[in-house]
Amino acid sequence: MDIKHVKDYIYWLYYQYLLITCSYVLEPWEQSMFHTITVTVFAMVLYTAYVFVPIHVRLAFEFFSQIFGGQPESTV
């Protein structure tokens, strides 16, 4: 794949982002604040999902395995 095509595709994705969020009508300082807040919130969601989702999935698996007749853990 040519570098120019990749660059054009990334620019197209960024333009779609601007159109979807309507941030193309903001002033430059407003745009930077909006992007900063958006990236921060997105990063916090990813971090929270990375830390807490595996724990909840494991607990749900243990809960449903006990309900549906899983092997009880040894008390030794």
Burial group, residue 21, by CB count within 10 angstroms (0-12, 13-18, 19+): middle
Query: Does 76 fall in a domain?
Result: no
pLDDT per residue rounded down to tens, the chain (76 residues)? 678 899 999 999 999 999 999 998 999 999 999 999 999 999 999 999 999 999 999 999 999 888 887 666 665 5
Residue 75 belongs to a domain:
no
The reported pTM is: 0.64
CA distances in angstroms from 47 to 25, 41, 43, listed in the order given: 30, 10, 6
Looking at the domain assignment, is residue 56 inside a domain?
yes
Per-residue DSSP letters for 28-57?
HHHHHHHHHHHHHHHHHHHHHHHHHHHHHH
Structural domain contains residue 47: yes
pLDDT of residue 73: 63
> Domain span at residue 44?
3-68
